[in-house]
A and B are shown apart, each in its own frame.
Chain A
Amino acid sequence: MSAEAIVEARGVGKSYDGGVEALKDVSLALPRGKLSTLLGPSGCGKTTLLKIIAGLIPPSRGEVWVKGMKVEGPGPERAFVFQDFALLPWANVLRNVAFGLELRGTPKEQRDEIARRQIAEVGLSSFESSYPHQLSGGMRQRVGLARALAVDADIILMDEPFSSVDEQTRRKFQEELLDLLRHKEKTVIFVTHSIEEAAYLSDQIVLLSPRPGAVSRIIHPNIERSGRNPDEIRRDKNYLDAVDEIWQILKQYVA
Chain B
Amino acid sequence: MILFGKRVPILFSLVIWFVVWELIGQANLSILIPPFSRVVAAGITILPTEKFSAAVSISLRSFAIGMAFALVIGIPTGVLMARVENLGKILGMWVNIFVSAPISALVPILMAVIGIGETTVVFTVFLFAVFVIILDTQVGIKQADRSLVEMARSFGAQRHQIYTKVLLLSALPEILAGLRLGAIRGVKGVVIGQLLIAIIGVGELFELYSRNFLMEEFWALVIVVFIFAFAVSEAIAFLERRVEYYASAR
Name A's B-contacting residues (CB within 8 A): 54-56, 74-76, 78-80, 82, 84, 86, 88-90, 99-100, 102-104, 131-133, 147, 151
Contacts and interface: CB of A to CB of B under 8 A. Distances in A.
B154 A131 contact: no
B249 A103 contact: no
B249 to A, nearest CB: 3
Interface stretch (B15-23, B145-153, B198-206, B222-230): B145-153
Contact of A74 (B145, B153, B169, B250): B153
A201 to B, nearest CB: 21
B156 A104 contact: yes
Contacts, number: 60
Contact of A132 (B151, B154, B249): B249
B249 A89 contact: yes
B247 interface: yes
Contacts of B150: 56, 82, 86
Contacts of A80: 151, 154-155
A56 B153 contact: yes
A3 to B, nearest CB: 25
B155 A79 contact: yes
B157 interface: yes
Given A82-B147, A84-B147, A103-B165, A90 B154 contact: no
Closest 7 CB pairs of A and B: A133-B249, A86-B151, A100-B155, A80-B154, A90-B246, A89-B249, A86-B147
Q: How large is the interface on B (under 10, 10 to 19, 20 to 34, 35 or more residues)?
A: 20 to 34
Q: Which of A103, A131, A151 is the most central at the interface, judged by chain B CB atoms within 10 Å of its CB?
A: A103
A86 B155 CA distance: 12
A131 to B, nearest CB: 6
A74 B155 contact: yes
B176 to A, nearest CB: 13
Interface string B138-172: 00000001011011111111100100011001001
Most B Cβ at <10 Å: residue of A54, A74, A89, A133: A89
B166 A79 contact: no
Given A90-B247, A132-B249, A103 B156 contact: yes
Contacts of A132: 249
Nearest to A99: B155
B13 to A, nearest CB: 35
B49 interface: no
Contacts of A99: 152, 155, 165
A129 to B, nearest CB: 13
Given A55-B154, A90-B172, A103-B155, 13 more contacts: A54-B154, A56-B150, A74-B155, A74-B156, A79-B154, A86-B145, A89-B246, A90-B247, A99-B152, A99-B155, A99-B165, A131-B249, A133-B248
15 contacts: A74-B153, A75-B156, A80-B154, A82-B147, A86-B147, A86-B150, A86-B151, A88-B148, A89-B250, A90-B247, A100-B155, A103-B157, A103-B161, A131-B246, A133-B248
Chain B contact surface mostly: helix
Contacts of A84: 147
Q: Which interface residue of B147, B152, B155, B166 has the most chain A CB atoms within 10 A?
A: B155
A56 B151 CA distance: 9
A84 B246 CA distance: 17
A230 B3 CA distance: 63
A147 B154 CA distance: 12
A153 to B, nearest CB: 9
A82 B151 contact: yes
B97 to A, nearest CB: 31
B243 to A, nearest CB: 8
Nearest to B250: A89
Nearest to B158: A103
A67 to B, nearest CB: 16
A238 B158 CA distance: 46
Nearest to B150: A56
Contacts of B248: 133
Contact of B169 (A76, A88, A103, A104): A88
A151 B151 CA distance: 13
A79 B246 CA distance: 26
A131 B172 CA distance: 17
A89 B165 CA distance: 12
B177 to A, nearest CB: 16
A76 B214 CA distance: 73
Nearest to B147: A86
